[in-house]
Structure 1
C-alpha cells in the first residue's frame, strides 16, 4: 500500500473474536480532496475490500453469518468519510453487508486461468487463431527479462504510435519495482524480433502466494510478427509458478475479446460505493466520475 497510495495515505480496521483472534480486516486508501475525505482504490490496484479469516469447518449458513457479522463490524469502524469506493476481490461473493448499508453495487469481470493445469490443456483452451498467432511468433521472436526504464520508454512510444496516452502511473510502477526488487513478485518482460532485436511489446506482472496478475503492458502497432504480444502473454501464462493467472480483465469490448481468447474462466467481482456527502451527490448528478460508471 505504501507503493500505490501516492496521493494520500492508507489504514486498516480489524475485527477480532473474544480471544483476540483476527476474524477479518479491511485495508483502505484515504485521500483528501478539496475538503472531502475519500476512501478510494489506489492506482494500478484492481482489488481491495475485506479479508476474512474463516474458522475451520464452517457450514454454509454459518459462513454467510460470519461474513455478515465481520463485514458489519469492519464497515462501522471506518473513519468518517464523504465517499467510499471499493473493488472487491473475486473471492468475495457475499455483497449483502454492503447492500444493507445502502451501498451501490455493480459487477465487473475478469478472466482467471488455472495455470496448475498441464501445458497441453492450457494450449488446447486457447482460441484457434491465438494458437496460430503464437506458432507464427515462436520462431520470429525472443522474450527477455527487462527493467522498468526500458519498459517505460517503449510503453510511451508504443502508446504514442497509437495516438493514445499511457494509462499507467509511472511513479506507482517505480514504487512497486523498488518494493519487489529483492523478490520475484514483479516481473518485467519484453518480446523482441529475433532478426533485428526490435522491441515489439512488453508486460509487467505481479504475484501473491497463489496468483499472478497482469498489471501493465504495451505493443507496437504495425509490426512483424503482428501478434507478438499474444506470444508474450502465452509465455507468461505457461511458465507461471502460481496456481492461477488473473488477466485483471476489462469491460472494454476489444480488450475483453482479446483476454477471452486465452481460455480463462469469466469471473465476476463486485464494485461497491456509497456517497455520504449531500454536495458530492449533487455534483455527481452533474458529472459522474469515470470510476463510478
Structure 2
C-alpha cells in the first residue's frame, strides 16, 4: 500500500468533509487510491476571511528531473471547484480562479481535464494556458425512465431485448472477474491495459469502502461472462466508469443491456437524475452514446508548459 501522499493538503481534506457536492473524482480517498510510485496529489485552496471559496486538487508526476501535473488512470476530471455561493458571478469566479493559479507550485507542465460543469476558464487563458475542447455524453432527467427509454434508438432497444433472452445480469462475481473481462477489451484492440491488477484492486477497494460503486456482469446459462460494466457515483451523477466484453461473445448485445441496467440502477436505486458516459472522441463510441439519447457535453483540457526543455522532450517522445 502507498502511504498517504506527503503533498496532500490537510485543509483540503477538511474542506471536502464539510462540502457535500465535491465530485467523486476529487474526493481525498479517491485521490489517495490513485497514487503510485512517482505520482502523488496535492491541492491548493482559495480563502477569504478564513472561508474556503475554491479548491483545486492535482496530481504531480515525476519524470527524470521534471515534475508536472497530469491525469492518472481512473481520474476522468479534476480542475477547480468554486463554492456554490460564488458560481455564476464572473467577477468572483475570475478572482477565485486567479488565486488558485497563483498558488500552484512551479511545475514543468500543467495538464488537466476540467469538469463538464466548469465553463469558465478565462483566468487560465489570461495566464497563458491553452484549452482543447473534448466531449462527454450525458443523460439528464433519468428519474423519468420511460422518457429516457423512448429516446433510445429502435436498433439499440432491439439488441437489448435480444440480450435479455441470452444472459442475466448479476453483481456478485467480484473485482477479479471484472478485471479479466475488462482486460480482454484492450487485448482485442491490441492495446495494453493502462492499469495493473494491483492498481485496479486498490481503486475498487476504495470505492467499495465508500459505497460508491456497483459491478454489473452479463452471464449466460453456461456461466460465461459476456460483458461487464463498472458504475460509480457522487451526489450529482452516476458515471459509466469502465466496461469490457468477451470478444467471442460480443454479438449477444450484452454490453448494451448493461448500459441500460446501469441507467436503471442510477435512477431507481441511487435516485440520481444525471448519467454520464465519461466521454469519448471515438466515432463509433460517439454514435452509440447518442443512440441512447445522451447529449453531447463539452469539457476543457487545460494545459501549459513552463519548461521549454520538457515540452521539447515530450514532442520528441510523441
Task: Indicate whether the TM-score tops 0.5.
Answer: yes
Mapped to 1, the partners of 2:185 and 2:115 lie a distance apart of 31
1:175 maps to what in 2?
202
Q: Which stretch of the first structure deviates more once superposed, 275-284 or 231-240?
A: 275-284
Selected match of 1:267 from 289, 297, 306: 297
In 2: Cα distance, 1:187 partner to 1:284 partner: 37
Question: Which secondary structure does the structure 2 equivalent of 1:223 belong to?
Answer: helix
* Aligned equivalents of 1:224, 1:74: Cα separation in 2: 46
TM-score (norm 2): 0.83
Q: Report the more deviating stretch, 66-75 or 251-260.
A: 251-260
Q: Secondary structure at the match of 2:252?
A: coil
Q: CA RMSD in A?
A: 1.9
Question: Partners of 2:313 and 2:251 in 1: how far apart?
Answer: 48
Partner of 2:216: 189
SS at match of 1:166: coil
| 1:256 maps to 2:286 | yes
Aligned pair in 2 of structure 1 residues 35, 164: CA closer, same or farther (>3 Å)?
A: closer
Q: Deviations over 1:100-148 (max 9, x none)?
A: 1111111000001125332111101111210111111122210111311
1:13 aligns with 2:39: no
Segments of structure 2 that go 5 or more residues without pairing to the other structure are 1-30
Query: What is the match of residue 105 of structure 1?
Result: 131
Bigger proportion of residues as helix: 2
- Tell me, what secondary structure is at the counterpart of 1:2? helix
Maintained 8 Å contact 1:12/1:26: yes
Match of 1:165 in 2: 192
User: What pairs with 1:141-290 in structure 2 (closer than 5 Å)?
Assistant: 141-145=167-171, 146-161=173-188, 163-193=190-220, 195-223=221-249, 226-240=252-266, 241=270, 242-288=272-318
Q: Which aligned pairs between 1:127-142 and structure 2 lie closer than 5 A?
A: 127-142=153-168
TM-score normalized with structure 1 length = 0.90
Distance of 1:9 and 1:157 partners within structure 2: 29
Change (3 A) 1:159 1:84: closer
Provide closer, same or farther for how the CA distance between residues 181 and 281 of structure 1 changes in structure 2, counting only shifts above 3 A. closer
Task: Report the Cα distance in structure 1 between the residues aligned to 2:73 and 2:151, rounded to whole angstroms.
Answer: 32
The change in CA–CA distance for 1:10 and 1:51 in structure 2 (over 3 A counts) is: same
Residue pair 1:15, 1:22 contacting (<8 A) in 2 also: yes
Gaps of 5+ in 1: 289-293
